Structure 1
Amino acid sequence: MTAPEVNFSELSNKPVETVRKLQQSTSRSLRVHRRGAEDEDLLLTTVSRAEQVAEVASTTTKLFLALMEHDDRTRTLVTDVVPRAFPWVRFLPKEGVRQFVVELVETLEAADSLENPAPVAHLVAAWRSTAEVHADPELLAVLKRDGADSGAVPEPPAGDPGPGS
């Protein structure tokens, strides 16, 4: 289910019509487009819908955590089926898959306690990047070579397309 879309100017110039579109939307949300290249689109939703989404995520997290704590067979099963939810884990070594599952469970619990999904999204993105390295034998070999670690690579400045662009 995708949210209907409006331009930011519609929200400003025709607020009553825009709210009507929001209320008629089956998702109870509207995507609000912003013009600037650095301006992220907005998602306008009702408070009740946002609370429902948060409650569903929290309930799912709590159920998943309870299952994981139940017994060793459940933890093994989750590790065995995680490639269905995250196909890219197939490129990780077996120990990496297990470590991802442990970190995912811990991060889900901590993020739920903060009511902030950002740490989970960050963790998944980091592990996906790790899987991408393991999927490329040449890159993996380069990164496994002995040599000086120069530390973390800083993010490129906003709007910088990077080398070769």
Structure 2
Amino acid sequence: MLTTAARAEQDSTVLGATTRMFVEMMRTPEGRTLVLDVLPATFPWVRYLPAHDVRDFSVELVGALGAVADLDSTAAVAQLITEWRHTAEVHADPELYAALTTDSGEDYGPG
């Protein structure tokens, strides 16, 4: 995709402003409640996470978004979302969850 430098700068400015507003909103109890309410619509896979993991994801997401404006890179946020989505995939599959959380006593690492 080709874009002009001016357009890229505009996109960065809008993303930074939106992110800062969101992070500030999260400093209030109402904002935190709202985020927890909208996460399932934004990220449908959070339904498979335990409640404490949904809260942890929201806190980590806000922290990562806060850093985005300073770094001018969304890579860390994309990685965080990917990692939490994979965690939800594990919780959504009872057999996989059992295999990953059961201590079989076997060590498959280097000896």
Structure-1-length-normalised TM-score:
0.62
**Residues 7-26 of structure 1 mapped to structure 2, 5 A cutoff:** none
Q: Which amino acid aligns with 2:6?
A: S
Give the superposition deviation at 1:85: 0.6
* Match for residue 118 of structure 1 among 62, 75, 81: 75
Give the superposition deviation at 1:111: 2.1
* Match for residue 65 of structure 1 among 7, 23, 43: 23
Identity %: 52
Aligned pair in 2 of structure 1 residues 63, 129: CA closer, same or farther (>3 Å)?
Answer: same
1:103 alignment partner in structure 2: 60
Please, what is the CA RMSD of the aligned residues?
A: 1.6
Q: Which amino acid aligns with 1:106?
A: G
Considering fraction of residues, name the structure with more strand.
Answer: 1
CA contact (8 A) 2:16 2:68 kept: no
Give the superposition deviation at 1:101: 0.2
Q: Within the alignment, does 1:52 sit opposite 2:52 as a pair?
A: no
Give the superposition deviation at 1:127: 0.4
1:26-82 residue CA offsets vs partner (Å, 9 max, x unmatched): xxxxxxxxxxxxxxxxx221011111111111111011011111x212212211211
1:118-162 residue CA offsets vs partner (Å, 9 max, x unmatched): 000000000001011111110001001014474xxxxxxxxxxxx
Q: Which amino acid aligns with 1:112?
A: A
Considering fraction of residues, name the structure with more helix.
Answer: 2
Q: Within the alignment, does 1:76 sit opposite 2:12 as a pair?
A: no
1:137 alignment partner in structure 2: 94
Equivalences, count: 108
Which structure 1 segments of 5+ residues have no match? Answer: 1-42, 151-165
Aligned pair in 2 of structure 1 residues 45, 83: CA closer, same or farther (>3 Å)?
Answer: same
